[in-house]
Amino acid sequence: MKTDLEIQKDVMDELRWTPSLNSTEIGVAVKKGIVTLSGTVDTYAKKLSAEKAAKSIEGVKAIAEDIEVKISSLGKKTDTDIAGAALNALKWNSSVNEEKIKVSVDNGWVTLEGTTDWEYQKNSARKAVENLVGVRGINNLIKISPKVAPSDVLNKISAAFHRSATIDAGKINLEVNGSKVILNGTVRSYAEKKDAEGAAWFAPGVTSVENNLVISTSEALAY
């Protein structure tokens, strides 16, 4: 089992390893496996990269993300500029029906509203705008319209778990309540916990995932 100091070192090393980041801008604190990231970056994409880097480290149980995005004078755009760029990005994204999505921008914060059929489409809309110059944050309020029977959802997620090289399907209990998926059981790492949640979100019609998976040190050692 890793100590907090070992986790902190590994997270800091991963931040230094990530080309898009300046690790000196980001502070890392760890308490009982919970990683707190702090500091200031000049783009929203860098904030997401730092969070992704921390999540990839073995022993991390949760992330508290306190990084602030401060746009430099060179990167500043008006809300009108950002809204126009966001609409254009959505238009050119083949995974998104831009006619079903509304965009609003307030002081660099982009809000996405509307409906999609799949979770991946909701995520694609977010990814389409997160790298735009001037964006300070994103509120993704897009809703998913369920069209699949709960039994089909359960079977599809279970099959995805068994196909995965990173998920131990035998340790995870699946429950589907309408369009909501509930995950219980144990996993070996935070990364496996997020992989399982991601696989559940890929099922058609899923509108929410309750992730109750517990990270077990004994499972990690056995692996």
Residues 6+ apart with CB under 8 A from 200: 157, 174, 181, 183, 206, 209
0.85 surpassed by pTM: no
Quick one: which of 158, 149, 157, 156 has its CA closest to 179?
149
Q: Hey, where are the domains in the chain?
A: 4-69, 79-144, 150-222
Q: Is the dihedral of CA 188, 193, 194, 196 positive or negative?
A: positive
Q: Is pLDDT of 64 > 80?
A: yes
Six token digits for residue 149: 């029977």
pLDDT tens per residue across span 108-164:
999 999 998 888 899 999 999 999 999 999 999 999 876 667 788 889 899 999 998
Of all helices (H) and strands (E), which one includes residue 105?
strand 101-106
Quick one: which of 206, 115, 208, 116 has its CA closest to 156?
206
pLDDT of residue 222: 53
pLDDT of residue 146: 65
Amino acid at 21: L
Topology, domain 4-69: Histidine-containing Protein; Chain: A; (3.30.1340)
CATH architecture of the region 150-222: 2-Layer Sandwich (3.30)
Torsion of CA 75, 47, 127, 52, to 10 degrees: 150
Straight-line distance from the first to the last Cα atom of the chain, in angstroms, rounded to the nearest whole number: 13
pLDDT tens per residue across span 187-220:
998 889 999 999 998 887 788 899 999 988 665 5
Q: Is the dihedral of CA 82, 88, 90, 95 positive or negative?
A: negative
* Domain 79-144, CATH: 3.30.1340.30
